[in-house]
Amino acid sequence: MVRYAEPGAVEWVESGGGPLIAVPETVLTFWAGADGDETASDYDRACEVDGCVGLLPVGDAAALVLGDEPASTSYLPDHDTFVRWCAADSEDELLAVVPTALAAAVWEDEVSWTVPGPVVLFDAAWPGDDAVNTDHLKVSLTPGRYAVRAADVRPGPETWLGLVQLRRLPD
């Protein structure tokens, strides 16, 4: 995990250039990443996701692909939102505009994501078995269905961030 500020500040996950993926912890071993003998690897499937978010089957669950930008990403539980650092002079500047960005966002269409519990965010190229040994972030989610929506927001001339917000749906 990358830390841009004092200890205890937000932790960021980075990719080697491809998409990040949030895989339910219970099915991590089923994610092969760029490895595998198949014609199209799991990583290839993640790269084919068009837009900011998409879902891919993994085991008996689904993983959330954060596509479009290979930006440093963190999860802010107070906002139930993955924040993607596309451009900002500092972490403080970026985090300070999150509430304004959430209020001003023009959201893409929602997808419905069912999770069995916590998920692990990491570079989609890595196999799930190796995810905890690489740059990753564990996100504690309550089991159930979530509406997932995404937006790119430019709250300032040199500040740009991606938002992927989760909203718990009734069972």
Closest listed residue to residue 33, CA positions, set 111, 127, 151: 127
Q: Which residues, in sequence order, are CB contacts of 134 under 8 Å at separation 6+?
A: 122, 123, 126
Q: Provide, for the chain, the percentages of residues in helix, strand and coil under a 3-state DSSP scheme, each rounded to the nearest 5.
A: 20, 40, 40
If one counts every other C-beta atom within 10 angstroms of the C-beta of residue 85, the result is 22
120-157 pLDDT per residue, tens: 999 999 999 888 888 899 999 999 999 999 999 998 88
Q: Provide the pLDDT for residue 7.
A: 47
171 has a pLDDT exceeding 60: yes
Q: Which residues, in sequence order, are CB contacts of 170 under 8 Å at separation 6+?
A: 145
60-93 pLDDT per residue, tens: 999 999 987 788 999 999 999 999 999 998 899 9
Q: Provide the pLDDT for residue 156.
A: 85
DSSP H or E stretch at residue 122: strand 119-123
Contact 70, 6 (CB under 8 A): no
What is the percent of the chain where pLDDT is above 70?
Answer: 92
**CA-CA distance, 1 to 15, in Å (whole number)?**
11
**90 class by beta-carbon count within 10 Å (0-12 exposed, 13-18 middle, 19+ buried):** exposed
With H, G, I as helix, E, B as strand and everything else as coil, classify residue 108: coil
32-66 pLDDT per residue, tens: 999 866 667 999 999 999 889 999 999 999 999 99
Domain ranges of the chain: 2-168
End-to-end Cα, the chain, rounded Å: 33
Q: Provide the pLDDT for residue 18.
A: 86
The predicted model scores a pTM of: 0.91
Q: Provide the pLDDT for residue 37.
A: 63
1 has a pLDDT exceeding 70: no
pLDDT tier at 10 (50, 70, 90 boundaries)? confident
